[in-house]
Chain A
Amino acid sequence: MTKGIITSIVSNLITIKANGPISQNEICHVLRGQISLRAEVIRIKGSIAFAQVFEETRGIKIGDEVNFTGQMLEVELGPGILSKNYDGLQNDLDKMGGTFLRIGEITEPLDADVFYDFKPIATKGDRVSAGEWLGEVKENWMNHKIMVPFAMVETYEVLSVIKAGDYNKDTAIAVLQDEKGQKHEITMVQRWPVKRAISAYKMKNRPFEILQTGLRVIDTLNPITEGGTGYIPGPFGTGKTVLQQAIAKNGEADIVIIVACGERANEVVEIFTEFPELIDPRSGRKLQERTTIICNTSNMPVAAREASVYVGMTLAEYYRNMGLKVLLLADSTSRWAQALREMSNRLEELPGPDAFPVELSAIIANFYSRAGVVELNNSTTGSVTFIGTISPVGGNFKEPVTESTSKVARCFYALSQKRADAKRYPAIDALASYSKYLDYDEFVEFADQHIQEGWVNLVKKVKDIVQLGLEAKDQIDILGDDAVPPEYHVNFWKAELIDFGFIQQDSFDEVDMSTSIERQRAMLNRFYKISVMDFPFSDFQEIGSYFKKLINLFKQMNYVPLDSNEFRKFENDLDLMLQPYATPVATT
């Protein structure tokens, strides 16, 4: 293997004089005494390699030795990934000793001492290719498929598959033979370079099926789909992280992968603390069992930030190939972009907008495109749904990261400072946000069949009512309460009712934090019925206090379980209040 010595050091960028061939994105090890630091080659000039070091460079000296590996940054794929807490390079954080991270410490991502209950799927004589299933093991409660490694590009004949039983990850579970007659032993583990998309499937489809998040402003008003993409930009303090955590808890996915990229350590600690306790309502199992966390917090090495999002995506793609619904969350993609900027700057490249590298837009587009719903070779489907948060500079959405993302992501959840200041949470601006899936014929059809006939239309009508309310508010603010006709006040309050009763949701209340799509459907119909009723009040003060009472009832209802006695009591009160103005709203 090629060796080299260090010739310069500026922060986490080093240059290395190499004595042999080197390749772009190759991983090398810097030897500092007993410690070995991983670095990635990011530019080559003659025999000089420029490399970003994934660890702190303090104490490195000119002339320190470097060993090149010939490999790009890879992850280890196999059973045991779920419930793990990894750093940005897939080191298992729980296996590290001591309170403080030690420079250069490397730990095994998977566990060699765990025996998995293996059941064969393929049989002798089958013809198989990359990504196809040879057998499965139980990982927590999930069926984890053992596949033909993605790197094996030919068609193979299955010579043997081991019989059902308990084996560890390194056991050869099958022997395959390629066209040249060469035999390959397959274990439960394979490796894959993170910057390459895994494409061992038949085809990618257009997403159409809703991925429920339990959040009304998303599921009903701006739905995301299985295999869809979304982004959440927001100034600090508008609740990005709370929102992402709520989605991680309640998102209707088989697997959730959370990438904490350059954000606060205490936020990750919250997940570490809560997820082992919380129950996933669909499976009845602990949330932790379906979750993997990749954690490169803001005080961990900057260069590993980029790696962390790619590691997350690669793990997600791996599980997608098992026919599972994977939800990938990254908080925040801006930190990744900043890491790219720092490095580009140190390489003295000519800067693009706001000193970001010029290829930023292409990098982001490429990354988001790795999400999607795919049909596997055996015709089952799997999906990776990706939602990234963005921390726009100065809270202004006109900045390179937000703009580049807006070109590729299909759902946009705009967090509004104004709503956050008014403590209207989630602070998603329902009107400024959008979901392009609402315009997909496939989605409309899906909603007609699975939610309610004409659903998308109803959603659009309700959005119009909110819009009308906003316009009425503008008029009232300009002209004064008295100077506008009472209808303006009624319109304003109808929109407020939808805001307080439907859009706002208390993510810290056990009941209100997550609403099923069935309950959302019932609620939306109820609001729509009220919004087309006439309220012939003549005095605007009367309108205000009437609607405040309505709002209060709706809020109380949201806090109690559907079909509880309290719910029925509030529902009854509501019907009584509405009775004078129309026929009572029946329970839907």
Chain B
Amino acid sequence: MKKKAFQRIYTEISAITKATCDVRAEGIGYQELAWVNGRPAQVIRIVDDLVTLQVFPGTEGISTKTEIVFSGNPPQLNVSDLFCGRFLNAYGDPFDDGPPVEGEARPIGGQTVNPVRRIKPSHLLATGIAGIDLNNTLVTGQKIPFFADPDQPYNSVLAEVAMRAEADRIILGGMGLSYDDYIFFKEIFTNRGVLDRIVSFINTSEDPPLERLLIPDMTCTAAEYFANEKKEKVLVLLTDMTLYADALAIVSNKMDQIPSKDSMPGSLYSDLARIYEKAVQFAHGGSITIVAVTTLNEGDITHAIPDNTGYITEGQLFLKKDTYTGKVIVDPFRSLSRLKQNVIGKKTREDHPQVMNALIRLYADAMQARTKKENGFDLNDYDERCMKFALDYSNEILAVDINITIPEMLDRGWSLFERYFEKYEVGIKEMFIQKYWLGTADM
């Protein structure tokens, strides 16, 4: 934030809200970065010579007589390999004790990839978690959120996915992260010896909420540098996007805009899409995969934030505690990976789609049987077998603490079929039954 000679400087503020202030100024570009009494701010409205600035750290204590410096540029990030292992704040300045990052200044929130220059994402991104690899297979270039209630261990699952996934680079964007979770991420990155391939942009819950608005753009700008210029497989982690959307709502409110559903701005869909659509598979092999977290209120996915997110992302993953086994699993019913069709049965074993579907269908039958039992009805033989199957399915395949390959998951699936069912009950294509039904019931 060093001042340069050509910068325009003003000293009079005409209006202040909790998030914004107005100043009379000329020759100012839309979305230009400025400093209000040293606090970073951005131009969000210009009417004649009246410029409205959104002040990221908030306007507490700002006086009408204050120095305002315009930078002449949109917000920028210095990109270079010196990033690696660093923890930076929402402005790309050190959050850790290291020196400022030297590098080429890039405007954040850059241009859209021409859709005809994209490549269909079809490289498997394995995580070793069956709830993902088997049921909701991910590919590089995909964008997918965890929908989780605040009490669920979403950040540790997210970290686990990041550690196991085959990525060249991991960029973490933390928004409103609790300080404890910041320490957690830092420790897990350090202890697993992967710190040198990770860059983190951190805004903790102690930091001003509006600064969160910069985190996704900073994160994606860094990701684009590695994915496009260095042709690396980049994994972006964004947690928690709900807090990002809350910050959007604050600014929209202070701008007197009419809110749409759940007090969210009418542009929420576009605002979120602009970030998630940074996920891309380039032709040269580089890619950006985004795994995000959207926290829910008591599982309510009809709220504007998860609802709009679901329409943007390529699927969603729900965490759930299986009360019968006590294991955390990725819910096989509500979770979905839209891009799994690009790899399952093609890049993975041929029986993958059918085994996956049959397992889920039988698990659904087991849930019906449980309901029947809870309502006091007698269970038939099929119900009993389904319920036993469900326990084993959860324990031996779904639990997130299991780390196995996809062929192992499929083999375990076949062995469960054989343990509890007849061939006609699983509804799988004849040719696969002939090939994989071994007739030996145990593993």
Contacts and interface: CB of A to CB of B under 8 A. Distances in A.
Interface stretch (A116-124, A182-190, A335-343, A446-454): A335-343
Nearest to A394: B302
Contact of B118 (A237, A266, A354, A555): A266
Contacts of A580: none
Contact of B114 (A7, A98, A341, A549): A98
A298 B312 contact: yes
B298 interface: no
Contact of A298 (B26, B120, B277): B277
A62 B48 contact: yes
A346 B314 CA distance: 30
Contacts of B360: 423
Interface string A342-385: 10011000010011000000000000000000000000000000
A264 interface: yes
Interface string A53-86: 0000111111100000000000000000000010
Contacts of A7: 47-48
A403 B427 CA distance: 39
Given A57-B30, A423-B361, A101 B111 contact: yes
Interface string B35-55: 000000000111111000000
B49 A62 contact: yes
Interface stretch (A150-158, A248-256, A268-276, A457-465): A268-276
A421 interface: yes
Contacts of B443: none
A61 B115 contact: no
A548 B424 contact: yes
Contact of B266 (A96, A298, A355, A481): A355
B440 interface: no
B48 A423 contact: no
Interface in A526-555: 540-541, 544-545, 548-549, 551-552, 555
Contacts of A235: 310
Contacts, number: 196
B382 interface: yes
A342 to B, nearest CB: 5
B27 interface: yes
Residue from A57, A299, A548 whose CB has the most chain B CB atoms within 10 Å: A299
B115 A272 contact: yes
Given A10-B45, A93-B114, A297-B115, A508 B380 contact: no
B57 interface: no
Nearest to B275: A299
A51 interface: no
Interface in B398-434: 424-425, 427, 429-430
Interface string B293-308: 0000000001110010
B407 to A, nearest CB: 21
Interface residues of B, number: 79
A393 interface: yes
Interface stretch (B163-171, B175-183, B254-262): B254-262
B114 A101 contact: yes
Nearest to A105: B114
A143 interface: no
B23 interface: no
Interface string A257-290: 0000010111011101100000000000000000
Interface in B300-350: 302-304, 307, 310-312, 314-316, 333-334, 336, 338-339, 341-342
A191 interface: no
Nearest to A396: B302
A273 B311 contact: no
B99 to A, nearest CB: 30
A297 B117 CA distance: 13
A102 interface: yes
A482 interface: yes
A339 to B, nearest CB: 8
B74 interface: yes
A302 B117 contact: no
Given A9-B30, A355-B266, A541-B381, A99 B117 contact: yes
Nearest to B309: A236
Given A58-B74, A549-B424, A99 B282 contact: yes
A391 interface: yes
A93 B266 CA distance: 29
A338 B28 CA distance: 29
A395 interface: yes
A9 B51 CA distance: 10
Interface in A127-182: none
B5 interface: no
B380 A100 contact: no
Contacts of A58: 29-31, 74, 107
Contact of B307 (A59, A102, A270, A393): A393
A59 B30 contact: yes
Interface string B176-194: 0000000000000000000
A422 B378 CA distance: 23
A394 B259 contact: no
7 contacts: A8-B45, A10-B45, A62-B27, A63-B27, A266-B121, A342-B267, A480-B378
Pairs of residues from A and B, 3 with the lowest C-beta to C-beta distance, nearest first: A394-B302, A298-B273, A299-B277
Given A101-B113, A269-B121, A302-B270, 14 more contacts: A8-B48, A58-B74, A61-B46, A85-B115, A93-B115, A99-B282, A100-B114, A237-B336, A237-B338, A262-B270, A299-B112, A302-B267, A346-B257, A423-B357
